[in-house]
Amino acid sequence: MRRICYRFPQRVDLSFAMGMPFNETLGHIAGLDNHETTKTAGKELVRVKTKVEIALDRATFGEITPDVLRPGVITEAVDLKCSVLELALRGGGKVPIANNIFYLRLTDQVSRTDIDIAKEGSGEGLDALDMKKILLD
């Protein structure tokens, strides 16, 4: 069963192939949900939080459940919404810097998975290449 969303942008910023089968790729990306890392940006320490949601009913996105990740439940294609929140860690606490939202479409190509990345909006912050780097790490 395909799980695609009609709100997926027509313009795609980046397309690439991941050298893993569809179910492995989906599991790998789902594993990024609620993932946190830190990096330095200039002289600041920045915490990066990632949230991944899956297309539910062609119009909305929701939480990824273990039932969805079982082999054979999703076939052919799936749309994911990935939010990347950046927080500057300063002496007084955490200050939001950016909340980047990306739409990902995974398409099954048997031994590999094609991934299309589209960024919501055109503001500052991360771009599609940064999202690809997050996916490949």
Indicate the domain borders of the chain. 14-136
pTM score: 0.90
Cβ neighbours of residue 77 under 8 Å, at least 6 residues apart?
2, 3, 4, 105, 106, 107, 108
Q: Which of 61, 74, 65 is nearest to 1 (CA)?
A: 74
Largest Cα separation within the chain, whole Å, is 50
The reported pLDDT for the residue numbered 42 is 82
Predicted confidence band at 78 (pLDDT cuts at 50, 70, 90)?
very high
* pLDDT tens per residue across span 3-37: 888 888 889 999 999 999 999 999 999 999 999 99
* pLDDT tens per residue across span 50-73: 999 999 888 899 999 888 888 888
Model confidence at 1: pLDDT above 80: no
